[in-house]
Homo-oligomer: A and B are copies of this chain.
Amino acid sequence: MSKTNQDLPVPRKRGRPPKGGLGYENTREALIRCGMELLTEQGFINTGLDQILKKVGVPKGSFYHYFQNKEAFGYVVLENYSQYFIHKLEKHLSNNDLTPLARIQSFIDDAIQSVEHFEFKRGCLVGNLAQEFGCSHDFFKEKLEAVFKEWKLRIADCLELAKAEGSLAPEADCEKLADFFWIGWEGAVMHSKLHQNKQAMELFAEQFFKLLPKT
């Protein structure tokens, strides 16, 4: 994700795009990227299609060429966000230059820096959607649960590594701790967004590491 969207300069032509051109993916991905921005900032319901379309410079009719409806769009954005996030997570958690626990800290630092960079306007898309749809919406519910499961797995694995390596006590329940991590993390992101500072995220991270049973 780049700093700001430089999507406007694209003067879309009306008909079928020329062969070599990547017209389709171009527009579609611009919509998804913009969706990630706005949904992360404002949530799903609160973000109108018009706002997205205006920002990307795409007329309404185009939108429904690329997506079935707003819901389907949201699902794709969520999927993309999830992919992006897992990629980020794995980048840190598989960094062999660091000890397993330091890798988690490295991810946290990155996340804090990112949130800071966006002036605490962006929260977590998964958290947003979870709160907006929560139970009520089975379609999203299952996907959201699956995403959290993926995230949890990654942290749990990393904690297992720490255990094997000896920096985490053998009696530690890595699954539980990983669950705990994401539960608290979501709360921390929400608080940071509300208070417009990184204090909550830092505080949670600090306490989380304090909680880990060391050898």
Interface residue ranges, A against B (CB under 8 Å): 41-43, 45-46, 120-121, 123, 127-128, 130-132, 134-136, 141, 144-145, 148, 176-177, 179-180, 182-188, 190-191, 193-196, 200, 203-204, 207, 210-211
Q: Which residues of B contact A46 (CB under 8 A)?
A: 45, 132
B183 touches A183 (CB 8 A): no
Q: A180-B204, A203-B176, A207-B180 are in contact. Are A196 and B135 (CB under 8 A)?
A: yes
Distance in angstroms from A114 CB to nearest chain B CB is: 16
B134 touches A194 (CB 8 A): yes
Give Cα A1 to B175, complex, Å.
36
Give Cα A131 to B177, complex, Å.
25
